[in-house]
Amino acid sequence: MKTVILAEKPSQAKEYASAMEIHSIKKGYIEIKDKLFPEGAIVTYGFGHLVELCLPGDYGEEYNKWSLANLPIFPEMKYRVAKDKIEQFSIVKGHLQKATQIIIATDCDREGELIAWLIINQAGIKRNEKKIDRLWINSLEKEAIRKGFKSLKSANETYDKFLEAQTRQKSDWLVGMNLSPLYTLTLQEKGVQGVFPIGRVQTPTLMMVYKRQQAIENFISKKYFEVELRGNQNNNQWTAKLKEKQQFDSKESCKKFLENEKLKEGKQNVLVANIQKEMKETKSPRLFSLSALQVVMSKKEKVSPKKVLESVQKLYEKKLLTYPRTDSVYITENELEYLLSLKESYQKLFSINQHLDHVDKKTRFVNSKKVQEHHAIIPTKKIPSQTDLKALTDLERNIYELVTRTTLAMFAETYQYEETTVDLVSNNVAFVAKGKVEKLLGWKSILNDVIEKETEESTLPSLELDTFIEMDLQVRSKDTKPPKAFTEGTLIQAMKTAGKELENEEAQSILKDVEGIGTEATRADVIEKLKSQDYINVVKNQLEVTKKGKQIGKVLESDKLFSSAEMTAVWEKDLKSISEDALTQDVFLKRIKHLVKSYIKQVPQNLANISKGTEWQEMQKAQSVGVCPNCGKDIVDRGKMYGCVGYKDKPSCSFTLMKKIMGKTLQQKDVSLLLSDGSTRTIKGFVSKKGNKFDAQLKWDKDKITFVFPNKK
């Protein structure tokens, strides 16, 4: 039997081979000898997606250029091998065709299923003509790899995940390749330049940021007033508020309340009517899913979800953390068993001296029924040395420590505190004050500064029941605050909980069931795509919609599907039905095509109605990214470049700036700075001809762009 193991990428293939007795690296594959494979085996690999969907131009030369006349584009969808990956695909194909057993060993998720089956299909291998098995593991440790190869699944058990992923891929193609040119060309006919990509997940995500920014920009702060008692006993300042939690919209209404209750501002004697003390406790945080970890690290380290995912992936490949792209916060009894056996070793790593004796199985953390594809992110059995930890990047080390401490926290005692509630009465008007005293830090002593600090409550003085104390009654003026702008972390959280604000209860239920829009593996990429498309920027860790984002936002405000997560809810319900054999791919794609056709009819009419309003003039005005240095007219987004609007004039102005320079797509704010100030900020991520990344400023110098490197004049 010739066994071929198909990995997703070279690094993964090397980990599999390293777990075997003998291995020998060849070009494009690795030969292995091991008692697991008595007749020998080879590990070959892709570079991620070796096979991709064909582009419109592959179906006919007429589709190389966008045209409304060509819409809709509904080809018999085919696949191709990316040009730069043909050599590796040929190697993989040759081995697969000779194999009598194929073991799919790509990442254990829907995307991994898609990558593997597209390669197998493109190699001309039918699903049932060979023995095809599936490796399904949560760790790249040698023991986990070998155990996984001893207990392979039939590939048929996970094939439905491929069908779901492929259906999602094809439907996204149909939406993107039809609606992106539809909106772009229709807007251009109305005088709005630029390219406006539309996507099933990215567009509702953009609209979440757009609507939040609109709410902030349109917010009008209002004053309100509260009545408070302020005490100062033994230099201990504390506050009590009206028990009924009244707020007053004007100082006059507040004063009227005081008059009616025969209260006056200033010093007065207040009765201590009741003192109630209650012991309370808080359980340790749940274990980490990917999105939960991205949210915490975004707030703590101010790093993008994409960077967090990349770092967790590296920690997985270094065998320090378990599989990263998980939406679960639970583990099974198997993981609990090894965590308990290594608990003290983890503690020594970070000098945790607390006794972690609460080792009983807790359903808050351990629940096999709630672990589907993968369990929560936890440390593996591999215990790194201090040298290993120092070799990690700062971000990797911080993530590893946070995950390990959070995992250990589930074995600690609960955080316990005594909450005191004091009822006060001033002239028959009830006030209340609350404070707490920590009694047992428990798990908090493990997580110390890595958790979000709670709002501190007042420390109340020692008081006696039924006594009078002197306090100061004050009317406090306060201002209502606008909603907070999204950060990348809070947007990830909002994507996961999308649907709470939907009026449609069924859509709410669906999105709750599928955990929002996007997946654990794709949400970070969606945000990166919105940034690269110049729809959003990150300014001081907050997300800001660009001029271009505002333009498409205005157009889609009244759209019932793309302006909310409702469409995604319907799609996710149907996609889930495909993986459950309750719906076919063909039926789903027919529905998508029907949706596309309806948009092709509706969008021109909707934009015609919008263009009659004054806000259309604002949109056209907003599209300029700067002033042309040649003729003084506006520079606008013209697809692959930024160019002068004077190119249509006679004589025409041919000034243009390419959007992509040395592998880096310029954002509008960089182009604006270049045109207004003559240079940009330092831009990260340029790529040299040799493939090396570098950072530099762009400078406008005598009709050409030059690089200015940091610390160099």
First and final C-alpha spacing in the chain: 65
603, amino acid identity: V
DSSP structural state of residue 221: -
Q: In whole angstroms, what is the distance from residue 224 CA to residue 481 CA?
A: 11
Strand partners, 479: 223
Cα(199)–Cα(180) distance, integer angstroms: 8
User: Quick one: tokens of 5?
Assistant: 């193991």
Q: Are 145 and 563 in contact (CB under 8 A)?
A: no
Q: Which of 16, 45, 323, 599 is catalytic?
A: 323
> Pick from 372, 322, 305: which is nearest to 520 by CA?
305
Rounded CA gap, 455 and 677, in Å? 43
Residue (of 169, 239, 640) closest to 435 by Cα position: 239
Helix (H) or strand (E) holding 311: helix 305-317
Phi, psi of 402 (to 5 degrees): -60, -45
Give the three-class secondary structure for 53. Answer: strand
Whether 79 is catalytic: no
Under 8 Å between Cβ of 605 and 190: no
If you search the block for the tokens 């490197």, which residue do you land on? 709
Structure tokens at 250: 């004007």
Q: Which two tokens stand for residue 364?
A: 């808050």
- How many residues comprise the chain? 713
What φ, ψ does residue 577 adopt, rounded to 5°?
-65, -35
With a CB cutoff of 8 Å and minimum separation 6, the contacts of 280 are 416, 417, 418, 419, 436
**Catalytic residue positions, numbered:** 323
